[in-house]
């Protein structure tokens, strides 16, 4: 059985004090929750204070991006080791907003994946198609290519630790959500792709999330699907009550 994972992607929201207040409001809601990984992917500026705030609350920290080098003259960038020292466990890599607005490429995604693994971080690798690509029937082609590129040079044992987030770009922040069946079909194809890269055991071990306008109202239906192992949640993760409801709904599945 794959352990479900629900991760909140706060994007460019919440100051450090707002982030700490969020954790205070969530309180001990997750202390007794077992069998599910709960992650908050916060802005870099909030990670230090959040590390102290989430201690003992059954929540892990995630970053939203990182550089692929250990250090260097790269103004404004964050190295993997800097995240590790703050207690970060997960890092989102290749989110569609990074690809669209900050020139992330399949090549840079792959370099970041390998750097994250080398540093002991768990990559959450985002793949997904644009609306135009979906409309012409290229969904499988796009996610297949992105998955293969992200895993290039990654060993079989390392691959099992990676989390893949299928995020159809047309569903991010739009209120539109792929049907649970459609999302499961794409996640199944991604799992099949991993199987061709490694083997069936690796494909069955890897966790695949769905992301794209996930809410407390639809997360249970999504996670009922056999190939969906969790959710990467944007807007609905920003309010404490909503995030608790998301985790509770996911936990019941």
Backbone angles phi, psi at 243, to 5 degrees: -65, -40
Q: How far is CA 38 from the centre of its chain?
A: 11
Q: Are 230 and 246 in contact (CB under 8 A)?
A: no
94 labeled part of a ligand binding site: no
* CB 223 within 8 Å of CB 215: no
- Dihedral sign, CA of 157, 160, 161, 164? positive
Q: In sequence order, which residues have a C-beta less than 8 Å from that of residue 248 and are 6 or more positions away? A: none
**Alpha helices (H) along the chain:** 16-26, 44-53, 80-85, 96-101, 106-119, 131-135, 139-150, 156-159, 180-197, 200-205, 219-223, 240-251
Tell me how far apart the alpha carbons of residues 108 and 85 are, in angstroms, rounded to a whole number. Answer: 23
Judge whether 224 counts as a catalytic residue: no
Instruction: Check 67, 104, 167, 189 and give the catalytic one.
Output: 167
Is 18 one of the annotated active-site residues of the chain? Answer: no
Residues for the chain: how many in total?
A: 253
Tell me if 213 is assigned to a ligand binding site. yes
Q: Is 9 marked as a binding-site residue?
A: yes
- Residue 201's SS3 state is helix
11 marked ligand binding residue: yes
Residue 8 annotated as binding? no
Question: With 0-12 CB in 10 A as exposed, 13-18 as middle and 19+ as buried, what is 213?
Answer: buried
175 labelled binding-site residue: no
Spot the catalytic one: 95, 97, 104, 129. Answer: 95
Binding site, annotated residues for substrate: 9-11, 173, 213, 234-235
Q: Which amino acids are annotated as binding site, given as ranges? A: 9-11, 173, 213, 234-235
Q: Which residues are known to be catalytic?
A: 95, 167
């Amino acid at each position: 059985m794959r352990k479900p994972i629900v991760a909140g992607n706060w994007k460019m929201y919440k100051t450090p004090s707002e982030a700490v207040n969020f954790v205070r409001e969530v309180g001990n809601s997750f202390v007794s929750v077992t069998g599910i990984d709960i992650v908050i992917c916060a802005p870099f500026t909030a990670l230090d204070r959040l590390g102290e705030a989430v201690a003992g609350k059954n929540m892990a920290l995630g970053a939203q991006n990182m550089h692929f080098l250990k250090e260097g003259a790269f103004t404004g960038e964050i190295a993997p080791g800097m995240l590790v020292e703050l207690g970060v466990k997960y890092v989102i890599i290749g989110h569609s907003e990074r690809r669209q607005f900050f020139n992330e490429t399949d090549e840079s995604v792959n370099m970041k994946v390998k750097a994250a693994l080398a540093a002991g971080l768990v990559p959450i690798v985002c793949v997904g198609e644009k609306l135009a690509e979906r409309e012409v029937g290229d969904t499988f082609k796009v996610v297949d290519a992105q998955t293969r590129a992200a895993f290039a040079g990654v060993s079989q044992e390392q691959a099992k630790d990676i989390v893949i987030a299928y995020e159809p770009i047309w569903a991010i922040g739009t209120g539109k959500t792929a049907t649970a069946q459609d999302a499961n079909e794409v996640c199944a194809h991604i799992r099949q792709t991993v199987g061709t890269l490694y083997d069936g055991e690796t494909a069955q071990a890897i966790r695949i999330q769905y992301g794209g306008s996930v809410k407390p109202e639809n997360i249970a239906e999504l996670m009922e699907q056999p190939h969906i192992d969790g959710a990467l949640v944007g807007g609905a993760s920003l309010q404490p009550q909503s995030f608790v409801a998301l985790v509770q709904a996911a936990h019941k599945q």
